[in-house]
Chain A
Amino acid sequence: MDEIRRLPARPCRPTRTPPSRPLLPALVATGVALSLLLGLGAAGRALPPASVDIQDSKYVPQALTVAPGTTVRWINRDEETHTVTSATGLFGSAGLDLGEAYSYTFAAPGVYPYTCDLHAFMQGTIVVK
C-alpha cells in the first residue's frame, strides 16, 4: 500500500495539488493500473513471455506449456543454422543464424509439434491450454 499512497503525489507539484481532492477515485484508478501492469485484469490472464532456446541442436525446453494468446519466442544460441517449422505448416521461421529469434502467438488450445528443416532429429512441442 505504500506504493499506492505515494503515487498520486508524484506527478503533482505541491503548489498545484488541490487540497481537498478525494482519495478514493485516485486509489481505484491506481489499483486498476497496477492490475493491468501485473496482468491481473478483468480477463484474468497472466501472460508472461515464453521463450525456447535452441542450443546444441536441441529445443530447450523440448516441451513448453502456455496459455492461449501467449507469444513464444525461439532464440538460436547455436552457430549452426536452425529453423522452427510447424509439423502442420501453421507456423515456420526462416533460417535462424546465431542470435536470431522467431516469435509466434498461439491463439487456440492444442498441441503443436515442430522441427528443424535442416536437422530432422530436432523435435519440439508447444502445448496450449
Chain B
Amino acid sequence: MDRMNRRGFLECMAWVGTGVVWTATGGILSSRVLPAAAAELTGGSFSFVQISDSHVGFKGQANPDAAVTLQQVVGKINALPTPPAFVIHTGDLTHGQKPGAFDTVAEILKGAKTDKVLYIPGEHDVFVDGGKEFLGRYAKGGPGWQSFDYQGVHFVGLVNVLKYKGEHLGALGGEQIAWLKQDLAGLSNSTPVVVYAHVPLWAVFPAWGWVTEDAEQALALLTRFGSVTVLNGHIHQALQKVEGNVTFHTAMSTAFPQPAPGVGPGPGPMKISEEQARPMLGMREVRYVLGTTPLAVIDSTLA
C-alpha cells in the first residue's frame, strides 16, 4: 500500500461522500474509490451501518421534513448489496423530543433490512427530561452505555450527553469510565474495537461544544488495542482523524448539514437549499473483512 502524502489525502477528501473506501492500517489513512465489483462481501466478513442525527421534527431551509430524508436513507440501506448485520444510530434521533417523535423514528427504521437497530442518545434526545424517555425506551431505564461482541469485533456504545445540559460539553463521567475499564479488561490487544458515541471523542471545536471533556480517560484505556475505530455524530459532517491505532470518524446527518468547525457565527443548521444540502446528508457503511484488522468506512450521500 502506498503511503499517502498531503496532496493525495486532499484529493481523496474531495471524494468523501461519493462512495469511498477508507482503510486505516498502522495509523496510515488510505482510500480508493469504491468499484462496483467490490460491493459483495465474502464469507466470514460482515458490515454494519452508522446513521446519525436524524433530527426528526426538524424543518428548515435545507430540509422541509427530516422524516422524509431519514426514510430515504433507509432506502439506501436497503439497496446495499449485502444487508448490514445491524444499524447503529449515534444520537439526536429527534429534534425537539416532541411527543411521538421517537415512535416516528422507530417506525421508519423498522423498514430497514437489518437484524437490529442500536441507539445511543444525543443531547436533543435527553434535554427535556434528563433522558427518562430515551433510556426508558432503549436502555430499560439503565444508564444507556452498552457493549457486545460480533464475529470477533468488540463494540462499545458510550453516552456522553447526560451532562451536556448547562455545560454544553460532552462528558462520560467517572461511573461510565470505570465500567469501560471493566468491560475492556478481558480483551486481547488484537481484538478489533469499535466505539460509538454521539459527541466526538476528540476535540473537534470546543467553543461549539464539539468535544468530550473526559474522553482522554476513555482513550487511554483503548490505546493498547491494535485497531480502534471511533464513530461519532453531533457535528453533521464527515471528518476523520488518526491517532496511533485509533481512527476517529464523525458522520453526516440524515437531516441537515452544519458548518465546518469554527466557520460562521455558530453551529446552527446551514441555511442552504435542499439541492445544496443533499450531497451533505447520508449514511456510513463500515466493513470488517475477516483476517484483517482494518475496518473500511464508506460514506454515501443522498445526492
Contact = CB atoms under 8 A, between A and B. Distances in A.
Interface of B: prevailing SS: loop
Nearest to B270: A79
A95 B125 CA distance: 10
Contacts of B57: 97
B95 interface: yes
Contacts, number: 58
A57 B256 CA distance: 17
A79 B127 contact: no
Nearest to A119: B168
A96 interface: yes
A98 B127 contact: no
A-B pairs, 7 with minimum CB distance: A95-B96, A79-B60, A120-B168, A81-B96, A117-B127, A79-B269, A80-B268
Interface string B243-256: 00000000000001
A96 B124 CA distance: 11
Contact of A95 (B128, B256, B269): B128
A83 B129 CA distance: 12
9 contacts: A56-B268, A79-B256, A81-B124, A97-B59, A98-B60, A117-B127, A117-B128, A118-B123, A119-B168
A56 B167 CA distance: 19
Nearest to A115: B166
B35 interface: no
B68 to A, nearest CB: 16
Interface string A56-79: 110000000000000000000011
A120 B166 CA distance: 5
A81 B96 CA distance: 6
A117 B266 contact: no
Contacts of A78: 268
Contacts of B165: 117-118, 120
A127 B67 CA distance: 40
B96 A94 contact: yes
